[in-house]
Structure 1
Amino acid sequence: MGKRISIIGIVIEDLSSSKHVNNVLHDYAELVVGRIGIPYREKDVSVIALIVDGNSDEISALTGKLGRISGTSVKSMMTKERV
């Protein structure tokens, strides 16, 4: 199974969920190429943008675990071609 580059966007609306999000990201650290985290204090949310490189099963597992965390919203976009 070939690897794909993906962008994962995470919005954390319940800041008490941040620790759980970071624990999941730590578990999948080998997939993460880059990460930008922005605390949007005026709106009381945090936004994380990830660039990941992995096969579709790995990326789906990561986004699935993140999406099951209460107080978070997750969206991902994957390259069509394997790279």
Structure 2
Amino acid sequence: MDTRIAVIGIIVENPEAAPRINDILHEYSPYILGRMGIPYPKRELSIISIVIDAPQNVISALSGKLGMIPDVSTKTVYSKI
């Protein structure tokens, strides 16, 4: 199955969501190439970026699961190749 490279941007507005986010990311860890988290105390939120190489349906499932967590927003950007 063909895979795609994507970046999933995650905004976390409630730190209590972190354990659920980490559980989901661990579930998809075979596909994750890198992860960067940036706390932003001034705005009381965190920003996480995930780089993933996976089939389209896996990327969509991961982004969807993360976006269903209360106080968590996601946006996915795909490579053109």
Smaller-chain TM-score bracket: over 0.9
Calculate the TM-score normalised by the size of structure 2. 0.95
Q: Corresponding residue for 1:66?
A: 66
Q: Secondary structure at the match of 1:19?
A: helix
Q: Corresponding residue for 2:5?
A: 5
CA distance in 1, matches of 2:15, 2:72: 9
CA distance in 1, matches of 2:2, 2:78: 12
Please report the RMSD computed on the Cα atoms of aligned residues, expressed in angstroms: 0.8
Q: Secondary structure at the match of 1:70?
A: coil
- Deviation digits for residues 34-71 of structure 1, max 9, x if unmatched? 11000111111010011000010000010010010001
CA distance in 2, matches of 1:4, 1:45: 29
Runs of 4+ in 1 over 6 A off after TM superposition: none
Q: Secondary structure at the match of 2:74?
A: strand
Q: Secondary structure at the match of 1:22?
A: helix
Aligned length, in residue pairs = 81
Unpaired runs of at least 5, structure 1: none
Percentage of identical aligned residues: 40
